Chains A and B, each alone.
Chain A
Amino acid sequence: MLLVPCPNCGPRNSADLRYGGESHARPDPATATPQQWRGYLYLRDNPAGWLRENWYCRSGCRRWFALERNTATNEFRNPPAPGDKRGGKA
């Protein structure tokens, strides 16, 4: 089981978190075309390598956070800055 570094709680089993996946901006619902909206819903780059992605620490601090993971090696890097106490996706 993957060990996910929660910036608030410390390293946690991935089962303690919800995987939020790749970061993607929500299109403006007023102007989004079906193609844009469905890209936001369903299409992911899914690279083999470094990926900025989101996690929700559902069994701990209940905060969303984003960091990078190498999908080929499962290494993590670039966690949120220590002073950044807000939740939030990338």
Chain B
Amino acid sequence: MTMSRLGAQPTEVIDRTAKLRFRWNGKRFDGFEGDTIASALAAAGEHVFSRSMKYHRPRGILTADYWDPNLLVQVGDDPNVRAGHRLLEAGMDVRPQNVWPSLHRDIKAANGLFGRFLTAGFYYKTFMRPAWLWPTYERVLATFAPGGKIDLDTPHRYHDKRYMHPDVVVAGAGPAGIEAALAAAAAGARVLLVEHEHAVGGHLRYSSSDSARAALAELRAALDASDVEVLTNSTVTGRYEDNWLGIVQRNHPIAVERLIKARAKVLVAAPGLIERPYVFSGNDRPGVITSGAARRLINLWGVKPGERAVVFTANSDGDAAAADLDRVGVEIAAIIDGRDQKRVSSAEGSSRALQAVVAGGNRIEADLLVVAAGWTAPTSLLNMAGDRPVHDPAAARFFPSDPPGNVLATGGLAGDGRIDELRAHGAATGRLAAQRAAAVAHRLQALTARARPVEGNEPAWAPDERTPLGRDPHPELYRSDTHGMVDLSEDVGSKDLVAAAREGYDSVELAKRYTTATMGPSQGKLETVNTVAAIAEARGETIAQVGTTVWRPPYAPLTLGALAGRVFEPVRVSSIHPWHEANGVSTILAGQWIRPDHYGDPAAEVRNVRTNVGLIDVTPLGKLDLRGPDIPKLLNLLYTNKWSKLPVGKVRYGMMCAEDGVVLDDGVTGRLAEDHYLMTTTSSGAGSVWEWVENWLQTERPDWKVHVTPVTTAYVSINVAGPKARELVGRVTEGVDLSPEAFPYMEVRLATVAGVAGCFMWRIGFTGELSFEIHAPSGHGLHVWEALMDAGQDLGVGPFGLEGQRIMRLEKGHFIVGQDTDGLTLGPSTGLGPLIKLDKDDFAGKPELAWAADRSLPMIVAIQTDDPNVVPEEAAQIVRGNTNEILGRITSARMSPTLGRSICLGQVEPELAAGGTKVTVLLASGERISATVMDHHAHFDPAGERLRG
């Protein structure tokens, strides 16, 4: 086969004045603007583009479009580029993939000689045993795997996302799709038209007939004059509930790929048809191409696909290909008409080029075999909408069955017809889509009338009164009288499928997974129907009886970059963050928050807090401002303890349980004024507790007068902790007597700190030291922090981070909800049973907690390892002796700088909960160590004297 560039064609899309220089396989080539990589190479006479996956057979152009299984190449650091689709750019460095040592002399092609051994399941069967050899097998087999090279040093590139709310999305801009878009837009709908190819027009683009060219010009002009938004080189990759669509845009001017998420009221599926290869001996040999490939090469890029051709045609597109070939001077050696029961049996030649075609017992010399054996209907979007297309043997393809009313099919998916018939069907579909979109819009508005009042009655759901397209009869052509390749991506032959069926893998889902047919880069677009047909033949049944696999998203692949895209998740930092960054902070990501973990040495931070004074930024602490007369009732309902008598100026600790009695959150709440409280939650529970509060107030107690405002980010929260905390806070605070008598532990004051009025200050602390927690208006947070730092230089003030605080709270034995508790930890297991007041009328989870009070439950206990230097892993199991019977686990463990030993919290079965009990901890290494359950949760200062000072 020798391809070459033709003279100018009336339909060509290349600009012969714009020459593009690029490299292929290390050599220099020229192409034109508008060429694909493959068309440029074909015009230059290249005919081997890749080696097949298993047998390393040479492969050339098959379909010359996106779905061509033989045209995957590496472009620069970009692997698996589809050379049949990707437009040529100047300077591209294009290389073949999966070849060794070279494209033209691939040693692994020896696989081809042994092909009969590499049957379905070969790898499964051969490399199963011995298991210890698998790592070696894997290393060797990996070198045989297809696909390009990933460059781990590839620079980050920009991807993006876009959200759209069109009325109608039309997937596919062939004649029917364009007419649908135009008609819907004319009816007032906002329309997005998405075309997989680089330009609109569908099959009209590569049709040389006068009527096709006239129709295309007319449609393009109408589209240009319309309000339809057109995306080319973009694909609707997925359809989800309520027409939530994923669209990948590959031609964005800035982003490498852009993922568009569109909510369409109606989806029109107009993807056209995909030409189906024919299965016969040698059907994967370079020189065997589809009729569409021949017409695209000639009419789009002016490439002469060969010198002497055999055309196997079973439809008008094959006839058109023969006419195109004849017109551009390709000698037609023979036309084999599939409609007359004639078949092509074999494509013969050297390993790299076609030399002869065998048909009907005759051997015909040729360097090109053009095959038009029928169509595959890409029903993917209909499948995703729940439709199960049905096979029509008379037309030899699948047709839509009963898609939901907001998904309409048109074009080749719906039937056959002349161009004007396809256009008329498209236009009728567009009008129907616009009518139904209006009905959907009205219905949505009626459901949300409080947001936007609805006018008029809901329009009737427009019935489908389109004149259906006909179905051209087509011979069922799947496999000839010889065996050949079914899935060219995965090197699965019809023999493999027959063998798989014989081995019992005779359902299409099983055969697919066993042979990997349809699982390669073509994703079934070319090979699904032939796969089903091969199994049907093996079972002696019809395609309809065998059924087909369900096409799932994505319709076309998209990069991980597009999926990751631009991240909309906000990142939160406190207003003190610039100071942390300037002072050597190591941060930790906690939910959306970036928090200081430590500033170099958490143990030193702990020692400084225990001896001098430290500051920690605890801004993410959840804060809810509560106002109204019924707050005590609310607190009594949410917390397990009692809140009716909390005086103004006092704060109290409380634990919240869910209705199933499981610990939900904990924190302190203070009474700032008669009807004004500030509730704090854990940092991670800030959002969910707010929802929990709203849930009770809105749905269970709507008559209570309580107003909730989340103020987590309105205040910066600073905990000042250490023996010198009072001295330090006193230096910057006005208007509050900080003496222990005037402002004792668990009280709250309104104060002016560092000149900032309106700060709340309360005496609580997680660290067990004398602590003042200052909540300052957020905009002044950094100022207050810096003022405290400046004022305490002589006191040895320093920052401490989350890690230091975690160590100190563990020294004090304070549990953390979600760390030391889990989704099954009932309130009493925390050891805070006395805070569960069952004599209250009601509170969340009360019945469960009442029943739990009579049961012995797993308990949170403090544990110390007998060897003080061993810190068990968090989640290390506590087991019975030398058995594997699990009796609990370590939930928190650290080396305590204060005590100079390992300290833990854990959850244990009730039988181990008493102080002094010896337990066995199973470390991740498999070693078992002994440890002792302590009398108190607090490893340090159990009486709490430091805290109350």
**Which residues in chain B, 803-862, are within 8 Å of chain A measured between CB atoms?**
841-842, 846-848, 851
A34 in contact with B851 (CB, 8 Å): yes
Which of chain B's residues have a CB closer than 8 A to the CB of A37? 847-848
A8 in contact with B244 (CB, 8 Å): no
B448 in contact with A10 (CB, 8 Å): yes
Which of chain B's residues have a CB closer than 8 A to the CB of A76? 447
Which of chain B's residues have a CB closer than 8 A to the CB of A67? 447
| A43 located at the interface, meaning its Cβ lies under 8 Å from any Cβ of chain B in the complex | no
Which of B450, B694, B847 has the largest count of A CB atoms less than 10 A from its CB?
A: B450
A74 in contact with B242 (CB, 8 Å): yes
B699 in contact with A89 (CB, 8 Å): yes
| A88 located at the interface, meaning its Cβ lies under 8 Å from any Cβ of chain B in the complex | yes
B451 in contact with A10 (CB, 8 Å): yes
- Interchain CA distance A63-B242 in the complex, whole Å: 23
| A29 located at the interface, meaning its Cβ lies under 8 Å from any Cβ of chain B in the complex | yes
**Which residues in chain A, 3-25, are within 8 Å of chain B measured between CB atoms?**
3, 5-11, 13, 18
| B941 located at the interface, meaning its Cβ lies under 8 Å from any Cβ of chain A in the complex | no
B842 in contact with A80 (CB, 8 Å): no
A18 in contact with B691 (CB, 8 Å): yes
B702 in contact with A86 (CB, 8 Å): yes
A11 in contact with B448 (CB, 8 Å): yes
A64 in contact with B699 (CB, 8 Å): yes
Contact with A along B433-459 (1 / 0, CB 8 A): 000000000001101111111000000
A7 in contact with B448 (CB, 8 Å): yes
Which of chain A's residues have a CB closer than 8 A to the CB of B848? 37
- Interchain CA distance A13-B244 in the complex, whole Å: 9
Q: List 12 A-B contacts (CB under 8 A).
A: A2-B241, A3-B241, A7-B449, A10-B445, A13-B263, A26-B659, A29-B846, A34-B847, A56-B694, A64-B699, A85-B450, A87-B702
| A30 located at the interface, meaning its Cβ lies under 8 Å from any Cβ of chain B in the complex | yes
Which of chain B's residues have a CB closer than 8 A to the CB of A62? 694
- Interchain CA distance A41-B263 in the complex, whole Å: 35
Interface contacts beyond A37-B847, A37-B848: sample of 4 additional A-B pairs, CB < 8 Å, sorted by A: A8-B451, A9-B451, A74-B242, A80-B450
A79 in contact with B244 (CB, 8 Å): no
| B660 located at the interface, meaning its Cβ lies under 8 Å from any Cβ of chain A in the complex | yes
Partner of A82, one of B450, B846, B851: B450
For the complex of A and B, the 5 pairs showing the least CB-CB separation, nearest first, are A87-B698, A5-B447, A3-B242, A10-B451, A7-B450
Min CB gap A70→B, angstroms: 13
| A1 located at the interface, meaning its Cβ lies under 8 Å from any Cβ of chain B in the complex | yes
B444 in contact with A29 (CB, 8 Å): no
Min CB gap B93→A, angstroms: 40
| B401 located at the interface, meaning its Cβ lies under 8 Å from any Cβ of chain A in the complex | no
Closest to A85 in B: B450
| B700 located at the interface, meaning its Cβ lies under 8 Å from any Cβ of chain A in the complex | yes
| B137 located at the interface, meaning its Cβ lies under 8 Å from any Cβ of chain A in the complex | no
A86 in contact with B448 (CB, 8 Å): no
**Which residues in chain A, 31-89, are within 8 Å of chain B measured between CB atoms?**
32, 34, 37, 40-41, 54, 56, 58, 62-64, 67, 74, 76-77, 79-80, 82, 85-89
- Interchain CA distance A90-B698 in the complex, whole Å: 11
A1 in contact with B241 (CB, 8 Å): yes
Min CB gap A75→B, angstroms: 9
| B102 located at the interface, meaning its Cβ lies under 8 Å from any Cβ of chain A in the complex | no
Which of chain B's residues have a CB closer than 8 A to the CB of A18? 691
**Which residues in chain B, 216-245, are within 8 Å of chain A measured between CB atoms?**
240-242, 244
Closest to A33 in B: B847
Closest to B708 in A: A62
B699 in contact with A8 (CB, 8 Å): no
| B209 located at the interface, meaning its Cβ lies under 8 Å from any Cβ of chain A in the complex | no
| B482 located at the interface, meaning its Cβ lies under 8 Å from any Cβ of chain A in the complex | no
**Which residues in chain B, 231-262, are within 8 Å of chain A measured between CB atoms?**
240-242, 244
A88 in contact with B847 (CB, 8 Å): no
Which of chain A's residues have a CB closer than 8 A to the CB of B851? 34
A74 in contact with B452 (CB, 8 Å): no
Which of chain A's residues have a CB closer than 8 A to the CB of B242? 1-3, 74
- Interchain CA distance A8-B449 in the complex, whole Å: 8
| B869 located at the interface, meaning its Cβ lies under 8 Å from any Cβ of chain A in the complex | no
Min CB gap B867→A, angstroms: 44
- Interchain CA distance A1-B694 in the complex, whole Å: 25
Taking Cβ atoms with an 8 Å cutoff, the residues of A that contact B are: 1-3, 5-11, 13, 18, 26, 29-30, 32, 34, 37, 40-41, 54, 56, 58, 62-64, 67, 74, 76-77, 79-80, 82, 85-89
A63 in contact with B449 (CB, 8 Å): no
Which of A1, A29, A63 has the largest count of B CB atoms less than 10 A from its CB?
A: A29
Which of chain B's residues have a CB closer than 8 A to the CB of A9? 448, 451
- Interchain CA distance A76-B241 in the complex, whole Å: 13
Min CB gap B701→A, angstroms: 10
Closest to B446 in A: A79
Partner of B448, one of A6, A13, A34, A54: A6
| B211 located at the interface, meaning its Cβ lies under 8 Å from any Cβ of chain A in the complex | no
B244 in contact with A29 (CB, 8 Å): no
- Interchain CA distance A89-B847 in the complex, whole Å: 22
Which of chain B's residues have a CB closer than 8 A to the CB of A2? 241-242
Which of chain A's residues have a CB closer than 8 A to the CB of B842? 29-30
| B583 located at the interface, meaning its Cβ lies under 8 Å from any Cβ of chain A in the complex | no
- Interchain CA distance A44-B57 in the complex, whole Å: 59
Which of chain A's residues have a CB closer than 8 A to the CB of B694? 56, 62, 64, 87
Which of chain B's residues have a CB closer than 8 A to the CB of A10? 444-445, 448, 451-452
| B542 located at the interface, meaning its Cβ lies under 8 Å from any Cβ of chain A in the complex | no
- Interchain CA distance A29-B842 in the complex, whole Å: 7
Closest to A18 in B: B691
B444 in contact with A5 (CB, 8 Å): yes
Closest to A12 in B: B448
Closest to A80 in B: B450
| B695 located at the interface, meaning its Cβ lies under 8 Å from any Cβ of chain A in the complex | yes
**Which residues in chain B, 289-327, are within 8 Å of chain A measured between CB atoms?**
none
- Interchain CA distance A63-B691 in the complex, whole Å: 10
Closest to B450 in A: A7
- Interchain CA distance A87-B699 in the complex, whole Å: 7
Known contacts A41-B660, A74-B241, A87-B699; is-contact A7 B451 (Cβ 8 Å): yes
B847 in contact with A79 (CB, 8 Å): no
A58 in contact with B699 (CB, 8 Å): no
Which of chain B's residues have a CB closer than 8 A to the CB of A85? 450
Which of chain A's residues have a CB closer than 8 A to the CB of B702? 86-88
Which of chain A's residues have a CB closer than 8 A to the CB of B448? 5-11, 79
A56 in contact with B847 (CB, 8 Å): no
Min CB gap A58→B, angstroms: 6
- Interchain CA distance A19-B77 in the complex, whole Å: 44
- Interchain CA distance A80-B446 in the complex, whole Å: 11
B453 in contact with A1 (CB, 8 Å): no
- Interchain CA distance A79-B582 in the complex, whole Å: 53
Which of chain B's residues have a CB closer than 8 A to the CB of A63? 698
Known contacts A41-B659, A62-B694; is-contact A6 B451 (Cβ 8 Å): yes
Contact with A along B701-712 (1 / 0, CB 8 A): 010000000000
**Which residues in chain B, 657-693, are within 8 Å of chain A measured between CB atoms?**
659-660, 691
- Interchain CA distance A16-B698 in the complex, whole Å: 19
A3 in contact with B244 (CB, 8 Å): yes
Min CB gap B21→A, angstroms: 46
B240 in contact with A1 (CB, 8 Å): yes
- Interchain CA distance A58-B700 in the complex, whole Å: 18
- Interchain CA distance A9-B694 in the complex, whole Å: 17
- Interchain CA distance A80-B240 in the complex, whole Å: 27
Which of chain A's residues have a CB closer than 8 A to the CB of B240? 1
Closest to B845 in A: A29
Which of chain B's residues have a CB closer than 8 A to the CB of A89? 699
Which of chain B's residues have a CB closer than 8 A to the CB of A34? 847, 851
- Interchain CA distance A15-B454 in the complex, whole Å: 25
A11 in contact with B444 (CB, 8 Å): yes
Closest to A54 in B: B699
Which of chain A's residues have a CB closer than 8 A to the CB of B241? 1-3, 74
- Interchain CA distance A87-B841 in the complex, whole Å: 25
Min CB gap A34→B, angstroms: 6
Which of chain A's residues have a CB closer than 8 A to the CB of B444? 3, 5, 10-11
B450 in contact with A64 (CB, 8 Å): no
Which of chain B's residues have a CB closer than 8 A to the CB of A80? 450
